[in-house]
Copies of this chain bind each other. A is one copy, B any other.
Amino acid sequence: MSPLSYSYSPSALVASYEHLKAQEQDLLQRTSSDSAMTMNSSQRIVVAATQITGAGLRDSDVSGFCFRAERAIELAVRQGANLVLLPELWNAPYFCQSQEAILMDLADPVENNVLIRRMQRLAQIYNVVLPVSIFERKNNALYNSVVVIDADGSLLGTYRKSHIPDGTGYQEKFYFTPGDTGFRVFDTKVGKVGVAICWDQWFPEAARALALQGADVLLYPTAIGSEPQDPTLSSVDHWQRTMQGHSAANMVPVVASNRFGTEILQHPDGTEKQRIHFYGRSFVTNNTGEKIAECADNSDPEEPVTIVTAEIDPEQNRRDRAAWGLFRDRRPELYQILLTKDGNM
């Protein structure tokens, strides 16, 4: 070789740069989306998707829902989960079937919330991350929110559902103010967790916003089932494909936990007013949108709680995404139309 030639290998080069950074560790300020790939390189997230029904509980007993949720968490932890996702508004029947002002009494502030208190205790006992769906009261507005509890029981913060549906059986605009938090990624002890809630799952913008901020996994607590105005319509495959698409396009795993079973709303005289069959089918994808774990559409009353678990390798997923080049090639200057409903650029 000439005196001006020298050789290098890609892997030795990267190792050398990691060595330099390790020497100056204290100088580094890492942001969530730009963490060095080798941080926590051995850490896996073991997620659990769950589904819970209130079938068989007497008088819609809220304590019964809580016991079942706690059982789901315990089952999942026994199978190795370090992050368990409960369904949306898991502590009661889906009360948005109809518009009833009295049901707004179910909302409580984060600071004074027995559900969160119980879940904090469980998180600490089991060393598990618990993103918990609640009906939140704040400044006398009501939100559909998720509070993220870290594996030591501490509160990491709140996300408020951004997209609020409205349709027969799903009267959410009556109850919930559209969320004001924007899309948030929480830096938990097991990884960076992007949280969205049910109807948010239909919006590619929400998934993208979370992936851009460095989410290692997207979580969707959910309450979706039949459409009372059209019993022939089943959205279940459409629902799964939409989230599989977010997973595929952002190269990030998705976890969706849905309730299951049939919830029958009564008239004051006890006769049936309306019903929804919640279809379950909670699932987890890998980083290409492929389903790698899925619960059945289970209507067996002997099994009011179902869980599945799956393992996520955040470091490998970050490498796969970087190699594929998708985020490199975005063209934000062309996306202005996404920010305005009238489409004027």
Interface residues of A (CB under 8 A from B): 33, 162-167, 178, 182-183, 199, 202-205, 207-209, 212-213, 237-238, 241-249, 288-290, 323, 325-326, 329-341, 343, 345
Copies in the complex: 2
**Chain B residue at minimal CB-CB distance from A326:** B202
Nearest-CB residue, chain B, relative to A286:
B238
**Residue in B33, B208, B213, B323 whose beta carbon sits within 8 Å of that of A204 in the complex:** B208
CB distance from A328 to the nearest CB of B (A): 8
Contact A203 B249 (CB under 8 A): yes
Pair B238/A242 contact, Cβ less than 8 Å: no
Contacts of A212 in B (CB 8 A): 337-338, 343
Closest B residue by C-beta to A291: B241
Contact A205 to B163, CB < 8 A, known contacts A337-B213, A338-B335, A345-B182:
no
A241–B238 CB distance below 8 A: no
Given contacts A245-B245, A289-B245, A330-B205, contact A167 B337 (CB under 8 A): no
Q: Are A288 and B331 in contact (CB under 8 A)?
A: no
Expressed in whole angstroms, the minimum distance between the Cβ of A111 and any Cβ of chain B is: 25
Q: Which of A33, A212, A243 has the most CB of B within 10 A?
A: A212
Which residue from chain B places its CB closest to the CB of A201 in the assembled complex? B249
Q: Find chain B residues with CB under 8 A from A340 CB.
A: 332
